[in-house]
Amino acid sequence: MSTGPTVGEMGEFALIARINQGRTQGPAVRLGPGDDAAVLAAARGHFAVSTDMLIEDRHFRRDWSSPEDIGRKAIAQNAADIYAMGAEPTGYVIGVGIPPDTPAEAVLRLADGFWDEAARAGGSVAGGDIVRSPHWVISVTAFGDPLDDAYIPRSGARAGGTVAIAGSPGWSAAGYAVLTAPEVAGNAETQRALAAHRAPRPPYDLVRSAIRDGRAPGALTDISDGLLADLGHLADASGVAIDVDFAALADPALRRCADALEGDARQWILTGGEDHVFAGVWPPGSAPPSGWTAIGSIEAGQGVTVGGVRYEGPTGWEAFAGTESAKSDRSR
């Protein structure tokens, strides 16, 4: 398809110049690409930092996702980690590994995806490294300033509190099911599922507005591994138990999608992960803020249950499980 140069033909320095051409850095970036290091502001004298590595055919497939979507997903999952601390992104640095026969255009489209999602999430791409690799590898490190005085850890949940989520879990897993189904009739639900799988759109604004309105949760996390798995991490960190009310998570559109695919909407919602919805905990007597849906309660004890019953089977993603296919073998 592409008739332009490969990255090997273009060369490292011309490629980097082209990637950075015409970009406008955000206000926190004091020194952008071009020196030994970038310099970012940390107005409060400290900053949040998170890093995630995405490997081709493990975390994304190039025959399933456009370069733009791969770039959006890489930023989204890191930006969601920053918001999950009660912070907002100020910048990113990104390592990219690609084969030398990759069309330069594909890398420019990947970078467009980085910048596109950064425009949604906040912050700009302040620097990076581009190297030769047999497979695509993308490593994003995101930085953030707290939205209020303090960061919001996973460890702040107390018995009697309410668990609420922002966003709709299960759609990324549904998209995976569409991509692996032998035959699917496309409709509004399958299109939504595909889009969610290819490039999640975490509801950053609902974290920002909750905190800005003085309604910050006492504990907060994003759901990357799976709702039950990540609620389990939050429960462990806080020394509490969580009981999930599945009725509050019912999603008729997702259910229609599951029926069409002979899939299991309940499993997608509870264990799918990758949607990067947010889960927060509000203290007793404090209803979750606008846009958040109460889905469970904090109790004394440990572990996570659904309607009082422990979930059978894997509760989420595990880095070394499964086959080489992208997020493919969920029969862990």
Pairwise CA distance, residues 197 & 174, whole Å: 8
Stretch that binds a copy of itself, among 60-68, 282-290, 304-312, 313-321 (CB under 8 A): 313-321
Pairwise CA distance, residues 178 & 326, whole Å: 13
Of residues 249-308, which lie at the interface with a copy of itself (CB under 8 A)? Answer: none
Q: Is 33 in the site for a copy of itself (CB under 8 A)?
A: no
Assess contact for 275 and 169: CB atoms under 8 A.
Answer: yes
Of residues 206-245, which lie at the interface with a copy of itself (CB under 8 A)? Answer: 220-222, 237
Pairwise CA distance, residues 242 & 128, whole Å: 40
Q: Is 17 in the site for a copy of itself (CB under 8 A)?
A: no
Shortest distance in whole angstroms from residue 261 CB to a copy of itself: 26
Stretch that binds a copy of itself, among 162-170, 202-210, 256-264, 320-328 (CB under 8 A): 320-328
Pairwise CA distance, residues 96 & 20, whole Å: 14
Shortest distance in whole angstroms from residue 252 CB to a copy of itself: 30
Q: Is 34 in the site for a copy of itself (CB under 8 A)?
A: yes
Q: Any idea what the Cα angle at residue 317 is, between residues 86 and 128, rounded to 5°?
A: 60
Strand order in the sheet with 137-146: 124-132, 87-98, 137-146
Return phi, psi of residue 2, to 5°.
Answer: -75, 135
Residue with token string 């309410």: 162
Pairwise CA distance, residues 20 & 125, whole Å: 9
Quick one: 12 or 205, whose CB is closer to a copy of itself? 12
Shortest distance in whole angstroms from residue 157 CB to a copy of itself: 13
Of residues 89-148, which lie at the interface with a copy of itself (CB under 8 A)? Answer: 91, 93-97, 100, 126-135, 137, 139, 141-144
Quick one: 148 or 324, whose CB is closer to a copy of itself? 324
Stretch that binds a copy of itself, among 30-38, 244-252, 261-269, 304-312 (CB under 8 A): 30-38
